[in-house]
Amino acid sequence: MPITVLHLSDIHMGSGFVHGQINPETGVNTRLEDFSRTLSLCIDRALNQPVDLVIFGGDAFPDATPAPYIQEAFASQFRRLTDAGIPTVLLVGNHDQHSQGTGGASLSIYRTLGVPGMIVGDRLTTHRITTAHGPIQVITLPWLNRSTLMARHETNALSLSEINELLLSRLQIALESEIRSLDPEIPTILLAHLMADRANLGAERFLAVGKGFTVPVAFLARPCFDYVALGHVHKHQNLNPDNNPAIVYPGSIERVDFSEEKEAKGYVMVELAKHQTTWEFCPLPARPFMTIEVDLSHTQDPLATLQKAIQRHNISGAVVRLIYRVEPEQLESIPTNELHNYLQAAHKYSMQAELVSQLSIPRLPELGVDSSLDPLSALKTYLEHNQKLKTLAPQMLAAAERLLSGGDEDF
* Contact residues: Mn ion, CB under 5 A: 59, 93-94, 232
Q: Rank residues 34 and 96 by Cβ distance to Mn ion and give the closer one.
A: 96
Residue 91 Cβ, how far from Mn ion at the closest point, in Å? 10
Strands 227-231 and 266-272: unpaired
Residue 179 Cβ, how far from Mn ion at the closest point, in Å? 24
Contact 297, 327 (CB under 8 A): yes
Q: Rank residues 92 and 138 by Cβ distance to Mn ion and give the closer one.
A: 92
Question: How far apart, in Å, are the Cα atoms of 115 and each of 39, 118, 120, 123, 128?
Answer: 19, 6, 10, 18, 17
Q: Rank residues 91 and 296 by Cβ distance to Mn ion and give the closer one.
A: 91
Residue 199 Cβ, how far from Mn ion at the closest point, in Å? 20
Residue 7 Cβ, how far from Mn ion at the closest point, in Å? 15
Contact 106, 96 (CB under 8 A): yes
Contact 366, 381 (CB under 8 A): yes
**φ, ψ for residue 282, nearest 5 deg:** -115, 110
Contact 21, 30 (CB under 8 A): yes
Q: Rank residues 59 and 122 by Cβ distance to Mn ion and give the closer one.
A: 59
Q: Rank residues 210 and 406 by Cβ distance to Mn ion and give the closer one.
A: 210
Residue 93 Cβ, how far from Mn ion at the closest point, in Å? 4
Q: Rank residues 232 and 236 by Cβ distance to Mn ion and give the closer one.
A: 232
CA atoms within 13 A on the CB side of 370: 2
Residue 116 Cβ, how far from Mn ion at the closest point, in Å? 27
Burial of 310 (0-12, 13-18, 19+ CB in 10 A): buried
Gap between the Cα atoms of 144 and 65, Å rounded: 19
Q: Rank residues 167 and 272 by Cβ distance to Mn ion and give the closer one.
A: 167
Q: Rank residues 147 and 243 by Cβ distance to Mn ion and give the closer one.
A: 147
- Closest of 255, 117, 135 to residue 188, by C-alpha: 135
Residue 194 Cβ, how far from Mn ion at the closest point, in Å? 9
Residue 193 Cβ, how far from Mn ion at the closest point, in Å? 6
Burial of 304 (0-12, 13-18, 19+ CB in 10 A): exposed
DSSP-based three-state secondary structure for 366: helix
Cβ neighbors of 200 (< 8 A, separation 6 or more) are 216, 218
If residue 237 lies in a helix (H) or strand (E), which one and from where to where? strand 237-238
Residue 102 Cβ, how far from Mn ion at the closest point, in Å? 16
The secondary structure of 64-94, three-state, reads: CCCCHHHHHHHHHHHHHHHHCCCCEEEECCC
- Cβ-closest residue to Mn ion? 232
Q: Rank residues 232 and 321 by Cβ distance to Mn ion and give the closer one.
A: 232
CA end-to-end span of the chain: 76
Q: Rank residues 194 and 346 by Cβ distance to Mn ion and give the closer one.
A: 194
Gap between the Cα atoms of 259 and 300, Å rounded: 32
Residue 92 Cβ, how far from Mn ion at the closest point, in Å? 10
